């Protein structure tokens, strides 16, 4: 196991990509902090799955857009495990608004999307980096979106927030080097409950993709974990995960 006894914090890991990533990191030997905001029962299921693999896990409820709650979460990780080696900034939110309907984007909605998707990544990274710097090593992987790279996504606010994450990955990679590597993944449409209200999108996305299918959470988790375990000389990079949907 490549991550034997290392400690990972995975934000938004009650379900979906976060849960898949937490479990995959545990399979590589990591102990995991499972972060959630509302889905306590599902977070417990993630913890149970990790413990079934013989690894340790704790649940920490924290809104990543709240700097104080983030600091408490990292403190809990250190209290429980003594260190923090890996941070996966997966927690995110959106508003579903067509690009043409700009008047439907409220200031409150815009601010909430940026608070979680942008401030949350910064707050979590800053708090974890304090520990990682003291240790002399660490790895951060941000979960952006293909919407941060091309004109796509659930709303202008969401796309703009994910573009900010892509750029922040580069600036943090410079700021935290050479001790901490910072990379990013940019998934396309994922078959999760988040997209369950849009079942008509699955065949459309699959048809446009070169690989002719829609990604599962495990597809994204696999790339995230590879950036942690097998990319020692890679930092500041964003990896699109779209099955070849945006090659043209």
Rounded Cα–Cα distance for residues 180 and 170 (Å): 12
Closest CA to 129 of 117, 142, 116, 113: 142
Exposure string for 140-178, b = 16+ CB within 10 A, e = fewer: bbbbbbbbbbbebbbbbbbbbbbbbbbebbbebbeebee
Place of tokens 């091309």: 150
Q: Is the peptide bond before 66 cis (omega within 30 degrees of 0)?
A: no
The residues annotated as belonging to the active site are 158
Rounded Cα–Cα distance for residues 187 and 137 (Å): 27
User: What torsion do the CA atoms of 225, 228, 231, 237 make, to the nearest 10 degrees?
Assistant: 90
């Amino acid at each position: 196991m490549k991550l034997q006894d290392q400690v990972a914090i995975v934000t938004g890991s009650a379900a979906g990509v976060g849960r898949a990533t937490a479990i995959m990191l545990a399979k590589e030997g990591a102990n995991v902090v499972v972060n959630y905001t509302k889905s306590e029962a599902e977070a417990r299921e993630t913890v149970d799955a990790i413990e079934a693999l013989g690894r340790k896990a704790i649940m920490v409820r924290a809104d990543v857009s709240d700097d104080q709650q983030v600091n408490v979460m990292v403190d809990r990780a250190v209290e429980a495990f003594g260190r923090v080696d890996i941070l996966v900034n997966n927690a995110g939110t959106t508003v579903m608004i067509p690009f043409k309907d700009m008047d439907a984007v409220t200031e409150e909605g815009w601010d909430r999307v940026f608070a979680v998707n942008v401030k949350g990544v910064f707050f979590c990274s800053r708090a974890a980096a304090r520990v990682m710097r003291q240790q002399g090593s660490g790895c951060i992987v941000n979960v952006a979106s293909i919407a941060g790279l091309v004109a796509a996504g659930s709303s202008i606010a969401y796309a703009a927030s994910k573009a900010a994450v892509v750029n922040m990955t580069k600036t943090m990679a410079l700021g935290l080097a050479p001790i901490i590597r910072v990379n990013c993944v940019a998934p396309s449409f994922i078959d999760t409950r988040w997209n369950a209200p849009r079942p008509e999108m699955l065949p459309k996305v699959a048809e446009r993709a070169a690989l002719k299918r829609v990604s599962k959470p495990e597809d994204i988790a696999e790339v995230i974990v590879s950036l942690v375990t097998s990319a020692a000389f890679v930092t500041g990079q964003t990896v699109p995960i779209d099955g070849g949907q945006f090659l043209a």
